[in-house]
């Protein structure tokens, strides 16, 4: 039996790009249309949903997101976004809910039910048991007159003028709109709770973002015997030997109390060789950089990375000092890369 599909030539790039641009425009218009739905008095439902979720969280309630098919995929992402930004949430498949998973939901929880039509059978079947246990429901649909919308405590209208699908059948613009509405809830809740960078990092300890936000300079710096340093009276040969032994491309210059006076780097050595035929009798203090870039050990490693990039000192690195400006370490690009900060 032959295929009913009528393939088009792959070389028709103009048509392909035109359809891609039209898809993006339709979906962008769908999201922009949501902003109008939240303007003026129309925003009352969103504010009520926001307050319901915030209040539930204050009483240890969670957000349970549910949806069928494509709406379920969107719901799973919304639950993940809420959870990662300070609002305890999880996704519940509506089919599994009817076979025991409803036991995970309490009267203190909030259910966000997503259905573009508002008539998904698996979702509608959950309304009565949820109502009986006193669980409040926020509906995200494209049909304010639907069963789900009218039964919910709050309805958020995510209706779209049309789908991006040329057949106006496949969920495209409608799922984008539902996802954007969920993101809007997550972001406003994040803001209301004063959820900051460190909170975010605590929720993402395994990722590069968590490492950037949690790792401190003290955890990546070179210290102790590995730290190159010479006294201000040292001659250049001694400073070069110290640089070679410690392999950091620099040496710090300190006074008798260990206070940082300057830094001598590979770049300083090249500039010195350009000016002098003999360097054996030159004191390092006479050719060092007297304003080295420094940071304290309690700062985030991400701040060290930013300074290294801003001052273009990747080849030498950043020196670490304490409150008395005594040398205690050095941070290098390779160490930041090894820890996943860069």
> Is residue 54 within 8 Å of residue 47, measured between CB atoms?
no
The answer to whether the beta carbons of residues 87 and 127 sit under 8 Å apart is no
Q: How far apart are CA 240 and CA 236, in angstroms?
A: 6
Which pLDDT does position 1 carry in this prediction?
Answer: 45
For 12-65, what is each residue's pLDDT tens digit? 888 889 999 999 999 999 999 999 889 877 799 999 999 999 999 888 899 999
Can you tell me the distance from the alpha carbon of 160 to that of 26, in angstroms, rounded to the nearest whole number?
9
pLDDT tier at 207 (50, 70, 90 boundaries)?
low
The per-residue pLDDT for 249 is 85
Q: Out of 116-130, 200-214, 297-311, 325-339, give the one with best mean pLDDT.
A: 116-130
Confidence of residue 7 (pLDDT cuts 50, 70, 90): low
CATH 3.10.580.10 fits 217-338, yes or no: yes
Q: Which whole number is the average pLDDT over 187-195?
A: 87
Average pLDDT, the chain: 89
Query: Cα(4)–Cα(6) distance, rounded to whole angstroms?
Result: 6
Q: Which residue has the higher pLDDT, 283 or 3?
A: 283
Q: Is residue 68's pLDDT more than 60?
A: yes
Residues in contact with 29: Cβ distance below 8 Å, sequence separation at least 6, in sequence order: 161, 173
Per the listing, tokens 């709770």 go with: 193
Say yes or no to pLDDT of 273 above 60.
yes
Q: Quote the CA–CA distance of 162 and 168 in Å, as a whole number.
A: 6
pTM tops 0.85? no
109 — pLDDT class (breaks 50, 70, 90): very high
| CB-count exposure of residue 103 (10 Å: 0-12, 13-18, 19+) | exposed
Residue 5: the pLDDT is 58
Per-residue pLDDT, averaged over 114-124, amounts to 96
Residue 303 token pair: 């701040």
pLDDT of residue 193: 85
Asked whether residue 220 carries a pLDDT value surpassing 50, the answer given is yes
- Classified by CATH at the fold level, domain 13-195 comes out as Rossmann fold (3.40.50)
- What is the rounded average pLDDT of the residues 207-212? 57
pLDDT (average), residues 146-165: 95
- Which residue, among 106, 102, 32, has the nearest Cα to 62 in the 3D structure? 106
Confidence of residue 170 (pLDDT cuts 50, 70, 90): confident
Q: pLDDT digit string (tens) for 228-265?
A: 999 999 999 999 999 999 988 899 999 999 999 999 99
**Are the C-beta atoms of 171 and 163 separated by less than 8 Å?**
yes
Torsions phi, psi of 59, nearest 5?
-110, 25
Average pLDDT over residues 311-338: 89
Question: What pLDDT is recorded for position 121?
Answer: 95
* Domain layout of the chain by residue ranges: 13-195, 217-338
Percent of residues, the chain, with pLDDT higher than 70 = 91
Task: Decide if 13-195 and 217-338 have a common fold.
Answer: no
């Amino acid at each position: 039996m032959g295929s009913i599909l009528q393939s088009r030539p792959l070389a028709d790039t103009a048509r392909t790009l035109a359809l891609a641009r039209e898809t993006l425009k339709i979906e962008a218009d769908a999201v922009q249309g949501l902003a109008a739905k939240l303007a003026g008095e129309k925003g009352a439902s969103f504010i009520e949903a926001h307050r319901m979720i915030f209040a539930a969280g204050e009483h240890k309630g969670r957000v349970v997101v549910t949806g069928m098919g494509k709406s379920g995929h969107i719901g799973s992402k919304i639950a993940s976004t809420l959870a990662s930004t300070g609002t305890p949430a999880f996704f519940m498949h509506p089919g599994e809910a009817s076979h025991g998973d409803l036991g995970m939901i309490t009267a203190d929880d909030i259910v966000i039910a997503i259905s573009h039509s508002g008539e998904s059978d698996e979702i509608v079947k959950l309304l009565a048991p949820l109502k009986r246990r006193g669980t409040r429901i926020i509906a995200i649909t494209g049909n304010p007159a639907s069963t789900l919308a009218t039964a919910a405590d709050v309805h958020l209208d995510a209706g779209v003028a049309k789908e991006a699908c040329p057949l106006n059948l496949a969920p495209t613009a409608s799922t984008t709109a539902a996802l954007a509405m969920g993101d809007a809830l997550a972001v406003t809740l994040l803001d209301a709770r004063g959820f900051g960078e460190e909170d975010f990092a605590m929720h993402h300890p395994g990722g590069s973002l968590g490492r950037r936000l949690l790792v401190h300079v003290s955890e990546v710096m070179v210290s102790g015997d590995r730290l190159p340093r010479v006294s201000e009276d040292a001659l250049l040969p001694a400073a070069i030997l110290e640089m070679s032994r410690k392999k950091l491309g620099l040496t710090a210059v300190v006074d008798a109390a260990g206070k940082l006076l300057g830094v001598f780097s590979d770049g300083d050595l090249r500039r010195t060789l350009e000016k002098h035929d003999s360097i054996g009798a030159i004191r390092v203090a006479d050719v060092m950089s007297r304003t080295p870039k420094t940071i304290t050990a309690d700062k985030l490693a991400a701040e060290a990375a930013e300074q290294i990039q801003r001052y273009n000192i990747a080849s030498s690195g950043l020196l670490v000092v304490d409150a008395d400006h005594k040398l205690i370490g050095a941070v290098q690009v390779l160490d930041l890369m090894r820890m996943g900060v860069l």
